[in-house]
Amino acid sequence: MSKRSIGVFAFSFQIAAMVIGSMAIAQSSVVVAILYPLGCIATFVVFVYTFCTKCPIRDGCIHVVHGMLAGIMPERSQGPYSVFDMIGPGLYFGFLAVFPQYWLLDSIYYLIAFWAILLTGLAVNSATLCRGCGNVNCPMRR
């Protein structure tokens, strides 16, 4: 399995967690259940703009989707990431993980599934993709 295939596979865990979060929210509010994935997409765009547009390997991004989106955005100068640059990843992962917690706490099954899937995806990322990643400035690189 190529690194790029693993990147798409690992990203699908985040999408699956988002779907589970949305399903849990839908038990109480269909409107919020629709707004949650839209918020995830919006914060993901901010993530890619503040982080991936500075990446030296975005054309061959091992996470694929991030690099493709970064490719249609204006390139930013490469170098160490500042606090501003880290706002995007923080916003995206913060929103993805924290926003649905209020509704997930209503169902232990949704709660366990959400965290199991999200953490598994992040573990796959960390174990297979962060090691030796070509983005030498990325703080997650090992």
- Interface residues with ligand SF4 (CB under 6 A)? 51-52, 55, 57-58, 61-63, 66-67, 70, 133, 135, 138
Can you tell me the distance from the alpha carbon of 132 to that of 141, in angstroms, rounded to the nearest whole number? 7
Residue closer to ligand SF4 (CB basis): 108 or 131: 131
* Minimum CB–partner distance for residue 103 and ligand SF4 (Å): 29
Residue closer to ligand SF4 (CB basis): 12 or 107: 12
Residue closer to ligand SF4 (CB basis): 48 or 113: 48
Q: Are 114 and 17 in contact (CB under 8 A)?
A: yes
* Minimum CB–partner distance for residue 66 and ligand SF4 (Å): 4
Kindly state the tokens that stand for 105. Answer: 């706490």
Can you tell me the distance from the alpha carbon of 116 to that of 53, in angstroms, rounded to the nearest whole number? 30
Positive or negative, the CA dihedral 102, 107, 110, 114 is positive
* Minimum CB–partner distance for residue 41 and ligand SF4 (Å): 16
